[in-house]
Structure 1
Amino acid sequence: MGIDNVTYNLIKKGMDVTTLSGKVINNNISNVNTKDYKREYVNFDEALKEENSKNYELKKTSNKHMGFSADDIEVKKDNKSSMREDGNNVDIESEMTSAASNSLMYDALVKQANTRFNMRSTVIKGGN
């Protein structure tokens, strides 16, 4: 598999991870006052490392085969001790910081994908 395909797959996986992570963070924020709710999270680095190792192991018979889906991203539950007496362990400030960070990461990945598409378009058009 060429480096361009590996890079594209990593960017796409990153976008899938940040999309799911945004949903998980929003769910945590929505449940900040729910008794016994335990926050959930997506480990971005772990998901990308797993995808990177897959890119070099899988044989693909068509360029249309992606090799992964958003379904294989694991959402984990944080069952550590609760911060509050009601059993809820959501820290709203931490979740808001995570939401902002996640949004910045998604935007950076979109820009990276757009840059790659624009470069290919320029090459196809002969540099014009």
Structure 2
Amino acid sequence: MNIYGSTISQLERGLDFSATKGKAISQNIANVDTPNYKAKNVSFKDVLSSVQSTTLEAYRTNPRHLSFKSTSSHSGVFNYANLRYRQDGNGVDMDKEQADLAANQIYYNALVDRINGKFNTLQNVIKGGGR
């Protein structure tokens, strides 16, 4: 029996995205002084499209209708190959990385709060409605 439908799994995928983005940002910050290091980023669009292609299925009333399934999978991580901020070829903009880190942390905390709310509701139901 699936109590919440796909809500928990979608929130889990959001957390996976946030963790992947956090790793990319951490690598960028750690390599801020490494010559010729190219900054990495995570594309939410690529991650979302790979998740949607594997989880969404259309109700087709006609065999000629298009399917939503796709066989492509992409981690969403890419680097800026031609980007240089300094003479040594490093492509890390520390201000951008710090802003991205803060935004990613807010996103992650919002997802964790939402999952906690779902589990608290489930716990309340199991206990009998707050007796």
Which TM-score bucket, shorter chain as reference?
0.7 to 0.9
Q: Which protein is richer in helix relative to its size?
A: 1
SS in 2 for 1:76: strand
Could you say if the C-alpha distance between residues 79 and 50 of structure 1 is closer, same or farther in structure 2, counting changes exceeding 3 Å? same
> How many angstroms apart in 2 are the aligned matches of 1:126 and 1:17?
35
Aligned partner letter, 1:83: Y
Moved over 3 A (4+): none
> Identity of paired residues, percent?
37
Higher relative contact order (CA 8 A, sep 6+): 1
Are residues 1:101 and 2:103 paired? yes
What is the letter of the counterpart of residue 129 of structure 2?
G
The question of whether the paired residues in 1 share the 8 Å contact of 2:35 and 2:88 is answered with yes
Q: SS of the residue aligned with 2:34? A: coil
- Amino acid paired to 2:96: S
* 8 A Cα contact 2:18 2:107, kept in partner: yes
In structure 2, distance between residues paired with 1:81 and 1:19: 24
- Alpha-carbon deviations, 1:69-92, whole Å to 9, x = none? xxx633211113312221111100
**Per the alignment, in what secondary structure is the counterpart of residue 89 of structure 2?**
coil
- How far the C-alpha of 1:55 sits from its partner, in A, is 2.1
Secondary structure of 2:78's aligned partner: strand
Deviations 1:3-40 (A, max 9, x none): 82321111101111111211110110111111110000
TM-score (norm 2): 0.77
- TM-score for both structures, normalised by structure 1: 0.78
Q: 2:24 touches 2:41 (CA, 8 Å); kept in 1?
A: yes
Larger Rg: 2
Counterpart among 91, 109, 112 of residue 110 in structure 1 = 112
Give unpaired runs (5+ residues) of structure 1: 58-71
Count matched residues: 114
Q: 1:50 matched to which residue of 2?
A: 50
Residue ranges of structure 2 left out of the alignment (5+ in a row):
58-73
